[in-house]
């Protein structure tokens, strides 16, 4: 457990940031509240009794002060195209691990491309997209691979009951679309590709009780970056239930509404992963509630394991490369109920 270690949370006053702060405290860490909005941070500090250290993303000296004396930093503030680079630079200067919850494909890809050698040389880790999107799918795909060293295809299907996006999700999505000129993204032939094809509606047979559902094919999420960063698989595709895709595309869909004292919404999810090699197939699945809330145990479990030395790599790394994937998935219970595929 945290044993009083200080962990900086950038974007601590945001929707996901508040879940991360609560999870860190639950595990014995002392969150240091940081971000761009000093007024909201001070209000959160008064509410929680924690220290607030406001810092603009474009102010290196302020970021250094925010990270001073901390053992890791978790970046929850999008758009990550703006915040990830400066926060990674600050973490490297401080010599501490950096983790974020980015769902932006381009921001995550930038982190892998730009910082791998510097993070290795610093003897630390940078973990982009250690969240529901990016982290969980990668862990499931890695667990499903088992003893396979390569595969032909990875398919990740998201069975979301609904998707009420936060304001941060909407802004990050807009930034990503602008960066790629409104084109769509796929991961094929071992690399990210842009295209303008219409996305098909397909049927995906999820494990029970969800069963067969209509999904948007090639509804590409950041998992294509995390999986593609370390698994020898030339084709990675992600899918989204039609209802959730419509929700997030509708500008009138409201933000998540809390239905319990922890702040979680009623949204449920089932993530189904299929890995194929030749004529063989392996599967892994995970289910739970509230994609934003469940990001907190994912990223904080990662922080805890990194600080305890329970890792398998240095540099810029995805969850499946950094951790023992089946063991990590088991540790997420009861927040995530997983069924990794048996090896053999």
- In the Cβ-directed half-sphere of 321, how many Cα atoms lie within 13 Å? 20
pLDDT band, very low/low/confident/very high, at 342 (cuts 50, 70, 90): very low
For range 165-181, the mean pLDDT:
92
Structural domain containing residue 46: 6-131+296-322
Judge whether 242 lies within some domain. Answer: yes
Judge whether 159 lies within some domain. Answer: yes
Judge whether 171 lies within some domain. Answer: yes
Per-residue pLDDT tens digits for 183-241: 999 999 999 999 998 999 999 999 999 999 999 999 999 999 999 999 999 999 999 99
Residues 85 and 16 in one domain: yes
Residues 189 and 201 in one domain: yes
Residues 192 and 80 in one domain: no
Residue 61's CATH number: 3.40.50.720
Buried b (16+ CB within 10 A) or exposed e, 8-39: bbbbbbbbbbbbbbbbbbebebbbbbbbbbee
Give 235's contacts (C-beta < 8 A, 6+ positions apart).
152, 153, 154, 187, 188, 189
pLDDT band, very low/low/confident/very high, at 155 (cuts 50, 70, 90): very high
pLDDT band, very low/low/confident/very high, at 340 (cuts 50, 70, 90): low
Residues 91 and 166 in one domain: no
Judge whether 213 lies within some domain. Answer: yes
Domain count, the chain: 2
Residue with tokens 């094919």: 217
For range 44-48, the mean pLDDT:
97
pTM above 0.75, yes or no: yes
With beta carbons less than 8 A apart as the criterion, state whether 272 and 207 touch.
yes
């Amino acid at each position: 457990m945290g044993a009083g270690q200080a962990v900086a949370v950038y974007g601590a006053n945001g929707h996901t940031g508040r879940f991360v702060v609560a999870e860190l405290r639950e595990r014995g860490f002392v969150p240091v509240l940081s971000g761009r909005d000093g007024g909201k941070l001070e209000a959160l500090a008064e509410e929680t009794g924690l220290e607030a250290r406001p810092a603009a993303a474009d102010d290196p000296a302020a970021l250094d002060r925010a990270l001073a004396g901390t053992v890791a930093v978790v970046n929850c503030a999008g758009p990550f195209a703006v915040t990830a680079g400066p926060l990674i630079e600050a973490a490297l200067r401080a010599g501490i691990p950096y983790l974020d919850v980015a769902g932006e494909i381009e921001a995550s890809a930038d982190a892998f491309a730009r910082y791998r050698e510097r993070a290795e040389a610093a003897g630390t880790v940078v973990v982009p997209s250690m969240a529901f999107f990016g982290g969980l799918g990668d862990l499931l795909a890695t667990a499903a691979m088992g003893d396979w060293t390569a595969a032909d295809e990875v398919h990740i299907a998201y069975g979301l009951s609904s998707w009420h996006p936060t304001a941060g999700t909407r802004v990050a999505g807009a930034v990503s679309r602008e960066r790629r000129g409104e084109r769509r993204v796929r991961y094929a032939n071992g690399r990210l590709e842009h295209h303008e094809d219409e996305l098909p509606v397909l049927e995906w047979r999820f494990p029970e009780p969800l069963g067969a559902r209509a999904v948007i094919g090639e509804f590409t999420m950041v998992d294509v970056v995390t999986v593609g960063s370390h698994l020898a698989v030339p084709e990675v595709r992600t899918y989204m239930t039609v209802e959730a895709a419509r929700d997030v595309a509708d500008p009138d869909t409201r933000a998540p509404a809390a239905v319990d004292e922890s702040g979680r919404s009623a949204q449920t999810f089932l993530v189904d992963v299929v890995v194929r090699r030749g004529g063989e197939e392996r599967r892994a699945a995970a289910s739970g509630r509230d994609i934003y809330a469940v990001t907190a145990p994912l990223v904080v479990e990662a922080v805890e394991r990194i600080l305890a030395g329970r890792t398998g790599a240095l540099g810029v790394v995805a969850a499946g490369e950094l951790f023992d994937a089946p063991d990590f998935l088991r540790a997420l219970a009861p927040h995530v109920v997983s069924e990794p595929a048996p090896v053999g």
